[in-house]
Amino acid sequence: MEKRVRNLAIAAAVSALLLIVLLVWRANNPPGSSGSAEETAVPSAEENDPYRAFLNDSTFFDSENRTGSVVVHEETDNSKRLYLKASSVFKDIRISVTDAEGEPVKGYSFFVEVDKLGEYKDLDRDGQIYIPDVSAGDYFVKLMPEGDFRVPEDPMRVYVSDQLEYVVLEDITQFILSEDEVDVSKEDTREQEAAEDSDETERTTKWEGTDAVFGIDVSVYQHDIDWEKVAAAGVDFAIIRCGYRGSTKGGLIEDSRFKQNIEGATKAGIKVGVYFFTQAVNEVEAVEEASMVAMLCRDYKLDYPVFIDVEGAGGKGRADDLDSETRTDVVKAFCKTIESAGLYAGVYSGRWWYYNKLHDEELQDFVHWLAEYRANPLYTGRFSIWQYTSSGNIDGISTRVDLDLIWQN
């Protein structure tokens, strides 16, 4: 009897255990479920448990995900992704191959294919391709594969106009170079020819008196300037070079001390204007130069005009041999573009250049800044600022400096 009771108890225990197993299985495999491990749903209570949330992450035990290398792979892909920019100013196409930050990718001979025109190569490997003399109309530019770079799949549309507009170019930043990227001895060859027209009456000291506003103009060649001392020396205004176009290769180059100078002068309470030394050979290049100036000055308040510096480069400049008509067109294009940006425009040159290298009568709408080194200028035209010497000395500046004057009445 006892043996029978024991067997019945064991059978009941086994039955209860099987029932529990069945209930657990049914809880985890509701009707309609295949019951496979990959499709098993995690109970909703566990979904809200932060300590068990990993159960919902099918990639949690993937070693790549746990080490964060997926993100690293994404960054690596971005570093190999190329972007294409294309624009036009006047009967041309300007192409830039950039990285994700919008900076030109240098060191590669990229190919682009332009419908109706053919293939073009980045021969100097600067990430820029310029196609001149293009007829007006729509074109599509496609970047061809290069190494293991990822290139855009779709071509970019660019419209070429046969009408030049004097407006600031939005993508000019891509074309600006630093002085570290060029041979300054060959590119910055401006010569002050006004010195050859000076006489023994040239004045090299600060202009004293209440009838004039006294100023200076500076560039990288004045080295580090102590602007507080300059202000204390009685300097009211400073016209600061922001850049220049290279004399030989024609690149747009920022003066390496422009930012330092304009911020230092402004902080010292000195009023500021800027100038740009041109080597443009046509109106399109003048628009480029003005666009660069407008871009460099967009974060600063200018009290004086933006001047285009028109003078020679010692016979070495690409624009030295321009005829007067073309040079005048360059000046007008620069000034009109500056004005389109809401800034005042002006022209800087020497007396001989105003008379012989420009059609000065066509430039009377723009502020004139005259360089003539004598006690009384011989220039008979109307001018607002007079640079009366290039051999001045001012406390706070270790080199010679140009001195300027504005009569108050």
Q: Strand 237-245 and strand 212-218: pairing?
A: parallel
Tell me the C-alpha distance between 347 and 383, whole Å.
Answer: 10
- 294-315, pLDDT tens digit by residue? 999 999 999 999 999 999 998 8
- pTM reported for the whole predicted model: 0.78
**Topology alike, domains 81-160 and 172-407:** no
- 32-90, pLDDT tens digit by residue? 544 443 433 444 444 455 444 434 555 544 444 433 333 333 445 567 899 999 999 99
Strand ranges of the sheet holding 83-87, from the earlier edge strand across to the other edge: 83-87, 93-98, 128-131
Q: Which two tokens stand for residue 105?
A: 């990718």
pLDDT category of residue 2 using cuts at 50, 70 and 90: low
* Partners of residue 241 on adjacent β-strands: 275
Please determine, for residue 182, whether its predicted confidence score (pLDDT) is greater than 60: yes
Please determine, for residue 7, whether its predicted confidence score (pLDDT) is greater than 80: no
pLDDT at 60: 41
Question: Is the separation of the CB atoms in 333 and 325 below 8 Å?
Answer: no
Q: Which two tokens stand for residue 196?
A: 């050859």
Helices (H), 176-323: 184-187, 227-232, 258-267, 283-297
- 23-40, pLDDT tens digit by residue? 555 655 555 544 443 433
Tell me the C-alpha distance between 262 and 257, whole Å.
Answer: 9
Homologous superfamily (CATH) for 172-407: Glycosidases (3.20.20.80)
Homologous superfamily (CATH) for 81-160: Immunoglobulins (2.60.40.10)
Using CB atoms within 10 A of its CB, is residue 205 exposed (0-12), middle (13-18) or buried (19+)? exposed
Q: Which two tokens stand for residue 273?
A: 């204007």
Q: Where are the domains of the chain?
A: 1-39, 42-79, 81-160, 172-407
pLDDT at 174: 86
pLDDT at 102: 86
Residues in the chain: 409
Instruction: Tell me how many degrees the CA angle 213-214-218 measures, rounded to the nearest 5.
Output: 135
144-148, 186-190, 210-214, 317-321: which has the minimum mean pLDDT? 210-214
pLDDT at 95: 94
Q: Tell me what the mean pLDDT of segment 391-395 comes to.
A: 96
Sign of CA dihedral 101, 103, 104, 107: negative
Q: Which two tokens stand for residue 110?
A: 């990229």
Sign of CA dihedral 279, 286, 342, 296: negative
pLDDT at 407: 83
pLDDT at 97: 94
- 95-151, pLDDT tens digit by residue? 999 999 888 999 999 999 999 999 999 999 999 999 999 999 999 999 999 999 999
* Partners of residue 129 on adjacent β-strands: 95
Show the beta-strand stretches assigned E in 28-151.
83-87, 93-98, 111-114, 118-121, 128-131, 137-143
Tell me the C-alpha distance between 83 and 149, whole Å.
Answer: 10
Note the maximum CA span of the chain: 143
Q: Which of 222, 180, 152 is nearest to 392 (CA)?
A: 222
Instruction: Tell me how many degrees the CA angle 153-174-79 measures, rounded to the nearest 5.
Output: 50
At 290, which amino acid appears?
A: A
Instruction: Give 393's contacts (C-beta < 8 A, 6+ positions apart).
Output: 204, 205, 400, 401
Show the beta-strand stretches assigned E in 99-170.
111-114, 118-121, 128-131, 137-143, 156-160
Q: Strand 401-407 and strand 212-218: pairing?
A: antiparallel
* Partners of residue 119 on adjacent β-strands: 113
pLDDT at 25: 55
Q: Which of 255, 317, 261, 267 is nearest to 292 (CA)?
A: 255
